[in-house]
Each structure stands twice: as C-alpha cells, then as structure tokens.
Amino acid sequence: MRPTDEQYCLGVESTADDFGVGIATFKGEILANASSGYIPEEGGIHPREAARHHAEAADKVLEEAFQKTGIKPRNLSIIAFSQGPGLGPCLRTGATVARALASYLNIPLVGVNHSIAHIEIGKLATGAQDPVTLYVSGGNTMVTAYDCGKYRVFGETLDIALGNCLDVFAREAGLKHRKGLPLGAALEQLAAKGGKLVPLPYLVKGMDLSLSGLLTAATTALRNDSYKLEDLCYSLQENAFSMVTEVTERALAHTEKKEVLLTGGVAANKRLQSMLAVIAEEHDARFSVVPREFATDNGAMIAWTGVLAYTHGVITPIDESYVKLRWRVEKVDVPWLK
C-alpha cells in the first residue's frame, strides 16, 4: 500500500500514433506507463484514423494504468496532457480525455509541451542535469539546450523528421510495422547486415538539416534496384545519423555543456547511439540515452513534466486548454529550471 499523503499526476499522451497514460509521483517515481499504438493497415499515420483508435483505446489504457498501481482516480492530484505539437485530431482526443477527468475529479489540468516532455523524461531516467539534447522521433528532429530561461532550438530539420524518413523508406522496401518492432528498428536490423557506403545526399545547412532529398535519392536507388537493400539501409542510416550528429556536436562545442542526451523513438537505434557516444567523448561530455520504455511517445513523460510544471505554478484553465499543433519549445516557460 502506498502512503496516502503521496501526490500523483496522471499524464495523457496522444500527439500521433500512440495513446499513452502514465502515473508519476510528485517525487519523480514512474508508477505506470500504459499505452496502445495505432498501426496503419497501409501507408503512414492517418490523423483521423489514429484519433479514432485513441478514442476507442482510452478506457482500456486508463484502466491498465490504474490497475497496475492500485491508485484510484480520487487519489490523483492533477491531470497533465500533451497539448502540442502534434496532429490535430489526435491531440484533441487526448485533451478531451484529460479535460473530462480533471473536471469530473475537480482537480487542476496542466498542458504539457510534448517535445519538452521527451527531454524531461530523459533527464529523469538518466540523471542528466543540463544536457545538449538530440530529440529524434517520428515527427520531430531537433537539437536543444537550456539557455536564458527557455529550452532553445540550436538546430532542426527543415523538412521531414528522422523517424519519418526511416519509416517511409522502410515501407518502400516492403518492411512491415509490427507490434514490438517499429519500422525504424526493422530497418536497423537490415542496416546491420550492410556495410558498403552508397553515394547519397548529405545536407546540413548551418545548424539545420534536410532529409527529404536523402529520402528521395534512397527511394529512387531502391526502385532502380541499383544496390543491395542492406547496403542502402546502412547508407541511409550512416548519412542521416551523421547529419544529426554533426549538428549536435556543433551545439555541444558552442554551449560547452558537459552532457549529451539522446531521446525520442529513434534513440533506440544502436548505431545512432554509438555515433553520439563518440562526439560526447571527444568533448569530455557524459552521454546518456533515454531507456527504451520512455523512448517512444508515452504517458509517463507527460505525467512527470506535468508535475514539474504544476509544482512551479503552471495550471492550464479548461478554457485555455485548446491544443497547439505547432507549439515550439522556445515558446514554453520552464519555471522549474530557473
């Protein structure tokens, strides 16, 4: 039995293909992290189909989170939810669940920035304090670090996200997304069997990077049957990962921070991890990777970031809880870091 004086936050994540519910204590213990992923029958994420999945999965995922912990809804102190950035229909479904819970239980609601939640769960899980963070996922690719009161974006993709780039190529190559084996992981397995570097575009512009040309070139080479699939997967990874690593290294050199954190769904990739470990070592920085359970989108990271925000004065009134599809990290107040 947990002490009754402990305070709990329930977090709802629903920005894209995953519907997640996490429960965190105010002291930073993650008690539950339940989720259900929408897997499209064909092609990429269809926002309305994903939102329908979330609406249908919500009660089951909520129940799983409560059951695992033995915590009752009336034991909760606050409800946090992913307010953005993300896909409109998906965000709105999660926001509706969160608003309903907060209103019914008559407890505060806290809107959380999804990208910042990926950073904060990485810090919580690894003990990193003030890292340069590479956040790479299905929908986001950015290098951030805290400076002058905000998380600042030092570099980012100018077009598609790294995870999206890998997923589209993997689908073109006929790989299938299965439960427990995301497309990026299936591609990683093939890449490990390749080793010949195929010429593909490498596009870093200042501190930003572009992945769409690389994806087009890799897909064209695949259709022309010019190279072995394993070598193409290997080369796609080598180029894309070198690009994000280059930008991360420059941010590290500029900020002179002493930690590098890798977070987001693509953080599970061993090759990417090894590249970042090298640059961290060269700059005498400690390298850490978010654990796999918190790498892809999850409710625990929203619950924990909700705790950080709420305990530093952030509350989101229901009539200001509209979702923010393009909510950038440098627009978010992070009073817990001041």
Is residue 167 a contact point for Mg ion (CB under 5 A)? no
- Cis link prior to 201 (omega < 30° from 0)? no
Q: How far apart (Å, rounded) are the C-alpha atoms in residues 205 and 31?
A: 42
Contacts to ligand AMP from residues 57-96, by CB under 6 A: none
Q: How far apart (Å, rounded) are the C-alpha atoms in residues 251 and 253?
A: 5
Q: How far apart (Å, rounded) are the C-alpha atoms in residues 34 and 29?
A: 15
Give the single-character DSSP code of 293.
G
Is residue 188 a contact point for ligand AMP (CB under 6 A)? yes
Q: Which stretch binds ligand AMP (CB under 6 A): 133-141, 152-160, 243-251, 277-285?
A: 133-141
Query: Least separation, in Å, of the C-beta of 90 and ligand AMP?
Result: 12
Measuring CA to CA, how many Å separate 321 from each of 57, 207, 306? 22, 33, 14
Say which entry of Mg ion, ligand AMP, none residue 185 contacts (CB below 5 to 8 A, set by partner kind): ligand AMP
Say which entry of ligand AMP, Mg ion, none residue 20 contacts (CB below 5 to 8 A, set by partner kind): none
**DSSP per residue, 232-247:** HHHHHHHHHHHHHHHH
Question: Of 89 and 182, which CB lies nearer to ligand AMP in the complex structure?
Answer: 182
Question: Of 246 and 297, which CB lies nearer to Mg ion in the complex structure?
Answer: 297
Question: Of 18 and 188, which CB lies nearer to Mg ion in the complex structure?
Answer: 18
Query: Least separation, in Å, of the C-beta of 115 and Mg ion?
Result: 13
Measuring CA to CA, how many Å separate 113 from each of 163, 197, 324? 19, 38, 9
Is residue 18 a contact point for Mg ion (CB under 5 A)? yes
Is residue 139 a contact point for ligand AMP (CB under 6 A)? yes
Q: Which residues pair with 113 in a beta bridge?
A: 84
Residue that is written with structure tokens 């010949």 in the block: 196
Considering only CA atoms, which of 208, 122, 147, 206 is closest in space to residue 330?
Answer: 147
180: left (phi over 0), alpha (psi -120 to 50) or beta: left
The site map against Mg ion for 285-314 (x = CB under 5 A) is ------------x-----------------
Contacts to ligand AMP from residues 144-173, by CB under 6 A: 163, 166-167
Is residue 231 a contact point for Mg ion (CB under 5 A)? no
Candidates 251, 275, 297, 327: give the one binding ligand AMP (CB under 6 A).
297
C-beta of residue 20 within 8 angstroms of C-beta of residue 31: no
Q: Which helix (H) or strand (E) holds 216?
A: helix 212-223
Question: Of 231 and 297, which CB lies nearer to Mg ion in the complex structure?
Answer: 297
Say which entry of ligand AMP, Mg ion, none residue 238 contacts (CB below 5 to 8 A, set by partner kind): none
Say which entry of Mg ion, ligand AMP, none residue 111 contacts (CB below 5 to 8 A, set by partner kind): none
Is residue 184 a contact point for ligand AMP (CB under 6 A)? yes
Residues at the contact surface with Mg ion, assessed by CB under 5 A: 16-18, 297
